[in-house]
Homo-oligomer: A and B are copies of this chain.
Amino acid sequence: MASPNVLTPQAEDFPRWYQDVVAKAEMADNGPVRGTMVIRPYGYAIWERMQFEVDARIKEAGAQNAYFPLFIPKSYFEREAQHVEGFSPELAVVTYAGGEELAEPVVVRPTSETVIGEFMAKWIQSYRDLPLLLNQWANVVRWELRPRLFLRSSEFLWQEGHTAHASFEDASAYVKMIHAEVYDDFLKKVMAIPSFLGIKPASERFAGAINSMTAEGMMRDGKALQLATSHELGQNFAKAFDIYFQNEEGQASLCYTTSWGSSTRFVGGLIMAHGDDQGLVLPPRLAPTQAVVIAVRDEADVNEACARVAQDLKAAGVRVQVDRARGSFGRRVTDWEIKGVPLRVEVGPRDLAQGVVSVVRRDGGEKLAVGLDAVAARSTALLDAMQQELFAAALKFRDDATHDVATVAQAKEAAQEGFARLPWAVVDGEGEATLKNDAITVRCLQRADGSMPDSDTEKDLICIVAKSY
């Protein structure tokens, strides 16, 4: 009998593997309304840990959390021409409320530049009020025709930062700092995902931005996933919403604004960057349960040892759970593997007689016999090592699958199984259109040394092209 928990192998059908993992690890379900999502407790616990880490970095960067309304007057969107053009096809609109037709239809926010711009204009009087650094955690709605859980859903959860500054330079420096110190730092240290940082070509820019930065991660099928974006909005929204300040000379000046966001898409990225044919592989820093202590049999000695080991692990700061023997041992192990719990501590009568337990790494290390008293110290060291090694493995995977090429034709070939890197001058214009016919897009522009350019008009830029989610 095939186990109901066997997943479609990645190599056979990657999208199907993804669906299987999301369902069998009990991460999420499809909601009843098209494209909406139910985030189940296990998926939500991972999201809470992501929020905790990102929120701490945002506060460290000096931004304050606030909350702006879900409902935005439709007229607000029409004030910034590119913004309304970009978002119109995705808007959900409330036309009826409180028992009657509304005089002005109300948009369910797809992003909040407009309504936040309105309040920035009200709150900012003088240069002393700048920079104004805000962030909100909220749900947003963008109607999706081809939804996929976590990756592309009609409603998703995110944080959106919005800031106003006295000068172009200050706005630019701040948003670049956010991109590096909040997003890239979180991706590297917590998600264990290396990403290519760069700027989007004009064709992929946020609607209303003068510059959009991205962090592009590589998934296990070689495709790219945009993990976070940060935008310089210039004075576009300041003009549309009259965000003026009185400068030190007493003159009215227009602000420069920025916005930057990351979302529950992180969960999708986590699954696809590290998962394998046995299921999720969670970086220890994000794992709701870092170690599961598994009783091999339901016997008094075993249960007692499990409780003791769990207590030691908890005291050492490890998030731990005990799985007392109920049902097949093999089946329970498979379930914990699917959920990606980093360490299994297996406690059986034979090992116990020797004073040891078995510690098994989810990422494929050997089974270690560890003395009862040493489990906590050994586990914390293993968890630290796994966090590092997961990143190193993802980096190697990505670099092995990223190829320097010279022509659009070669880029097309390389992008069948990974990323291609080539001069932007070769792609800019017709090349970009040619690639798009094959569902290959320019993920980002970088300097030749891999660093972030100031704008897409810099000379000698290279670009990274790939298929993407």
Which residues from chain A sit less than 8 Å from chain B, CB to CB? 29, 31-33, 36-41, 44-45, 47-48, 64-73, 76, 88-99, 105-106, 108, 115, 118-119, 122, 134, 138-139, 141, 143-145, 154-155, 157
Do A69 and B32 touch across chains, with their CB atoms under 8 A apart?
yes
With A36-B69, A44-B66, A47-B67 known, 8 other A-B pairs at CB within 8 A are A31-B69, A32-B115, A37-B69, A38-B66, A41-B64, A71-B141, A71-B155, A91-B97
Instruction: Name the distance in Å between A35's Cβ and chain B's nearest Cβ.
Output: 9
In the complex, what distance in Å separates the CA atom of A89 from the CA atom of B99?
5
B96 x A67 contact (CB < 8 A): no
Q: Complex Cα distance A84/B71, Å?
A: 23
| Chain B residues whose C-beta falls within 8 Å of the C-beta of A91 in the assembled complex | 97-98
Residues from chain B with Cβ under 8 Å of A45 in the complex? 64-65
B95 pairs with A66, CB closer than 8 A: no
Would you call A33 and B72 a contact (CB within 8 A)? yes
* Contact (Cβ within 8 A) A32 B155: no
The answer on a CB contact under 8 Å between B115 and A70 is: no
Residues B68 and A31 in contact, CB atoms below 8 Å apart: yes
Which B residue's beta carbon lies closest to that of A108? Answer: B94
**With the chains together, A76 CA to B31 CA distance in Å?**
13
> What is the CB-to-nearest-CB distance from A247 to chain B, in angstroms, rounded to a whole number?
18
Q: Select A67's contact among B38, B72, B90, beta carbons within 8 Å.
A: B38
B residues near A48, Cβ cutoff 8 Å: 65
Residue on B nearest A326 in the bound complex, by CB: B128
A41 touches which of B41, B66, B105 (Cβ 8 Å): B66
Given contacts A32-B118, A115-B32, is CB(A155)–CB(B70) below 8 Å?
yes
| A69 lies within 8 A of B38 (CB) | yes
Q: Decide if B143 touches A98 in the complex (CB within 8 Å).
A: yes
Q: How many monomers of this protein are in the complex?
A: 2
Pairwise interchain contact B73-A32, C-beta atoms closer than 8 A? yes
Q: Whole-angstrom distance between the alpha carbons of A48 and B64 in the complex?
A: 11
Whole-angstrom CA separation of A66 from B106 in the bound complex:
28
Cβ–Cβ < 8 Å partners of A89 in chain B: 98-99
Q: How far is the CA of A155 from the CA of B71 in the complex (A)?
A: 9
A105 to B37, CA, bound (A): 18
A33 touches B67 (CB 8 A): no
A410 to B90, CA, bound (A): 59
Q: Which of A37, A97, A122 has the most CB of B within 10 A?
A: A97
Residue contact A67 to B98, C-beta cutoff 8 Å: no
The CA-CA distance from A66 to B31 in the complex, in Å, is 13
**What are 28 A-B residue pairs whose CB atoms fall within 8 Å in the complex?**
A29-B119, A29-B122, A31-B71, A32-B72, A32-B115, A33-B69, A33-B73, A36-B70, A38-B67, A38-B119, A39-B66, A39-B67, A41-B64, A41-B66, A41-B134, A44-B65, A48-B65, A70-B108, A71-B154, A89-B98, A92-B98, A93-B94, A93-B96, A95-B95, A98-B143, A98-B144, A108-B108, A139-B139
Task: Please indicate the chain B residues that have their CB under 8 angstroms from the CB of A141 in the complex.
Answer: 70-71
- Interface contact B108-A67, CB-CB below 8 Å: no
Smallest beta-carbon distance A151→chain B, Å: 16
Closest Cβ of chain B to A106, distance in Å, is 5
> With contacts A73-B32, A73-B33, A139-B138 known, is A38 near B68, CB below 8 A?
yes
Picked from B38, B39, B145, the residue with its CB within 8 Å of the CB of A98 is B145
A320 CB to nearest chain B CB (Å): 15
**With A65-B44, A66-B41 in contact, do A95 and B98 touch (Cβ < 8 Å)?**
no
A66 near B92 with CB under 8 A, answer no
Expressed in whole angstroms, the Cα–Cα distance for A364 and B288 within the complex equals 45
